[in-house]
Amino acid sequence: MKTTVHFYTFLLAGIILAGCSSQEKPESTSAKEQAQEATTAVNNETEKDLAESDTELQLMENEEIGNYLADAEGRALYYFAKDQPNTSNCSGDCLENWPAFYTEDLAVPEGFNKEDFGTITRADTGEKQTTYKGYPLYYFVKDGASGDVKGQGVKDVWFIVNSGTKFTQ
């Protein structure tokens, strides 16, 4: 998908540069139309690629904590033990440190059931958030690189998610 977007971006840049280097002082209507058509083609192709692809979740492994659920970039996903099913109790400063995870469509790794994933609308922000077995999913801001799990066990209420996760109330 990125290759396609890059190709159309370079194509658009070439068309615009060709129009700018013209000997005519005013830009011709046909050059403007070509640039608009190229922009429309890039936008349509990008929207098509995004609509056709699911966000792929993956199961990653850490020597100390075992397997855990991560997004396509390898960022760990966490749940908050103080949340209730389909309700987030993390807001304000909490949400700044534990940003909500959301994706429209997702593909789940082996061992997970896609029906266990859902979406809620947060009461505090009105934004959507992806859930696992009803529990909202989060990132941790201190996880700076793919494979980081620095949020595991923070304050004994933040935990990674895996297929064996048991939620307690």
Q: Select the more confidently predicted residue: 85 or 42.
A: 85
At residue 24, what is the residue type?
E
Q: Do the domain assignments include residue 12? A: yes
Span of 67-76, 104-113, 115-124 with lowest mean pLDDT: 104-113
| Nearest Cα residue to 55 out of 68, 69, 72, 74 | 72
Report the C-alpha gap between 153 and 166 in whole angstroms.
14
Residue 132 sits in the same domain as residue 79: yes
At residue 102, the pLDDT reads: 97
Total count of domains within the chain: 2
Give me the domain span that covers residue 35: 2-52
Q: 0.75 cut: is pTM over it? A: no
CA dihedral 122, 85, 97, 161 (to 10 degrees): -130
Share of the chain above pLDDT 70, in %: 67
pLDDT digits (tens, 9 = 90+) for 80-91: 999 999 999 999
Residue 29 sits in the same domain as residue 105: no
Q: Do the domain assignments include residue 167? A: no
Report the C-alpha gap between 38 and 40 in whole angstroms.
5
Residue 83 sits in the same domain as residue 107: yes
Q: Do the domain assignments include residue 146? A: yes
Residue 132 sits in the same domain as residue 113: yes
Q: Do the domain assignments include residue 18? A: yes
Residue 42 sits in the same domain as residue 68: no
Report the C-alpha gap between 100 and 141 in whole angstroms.
11
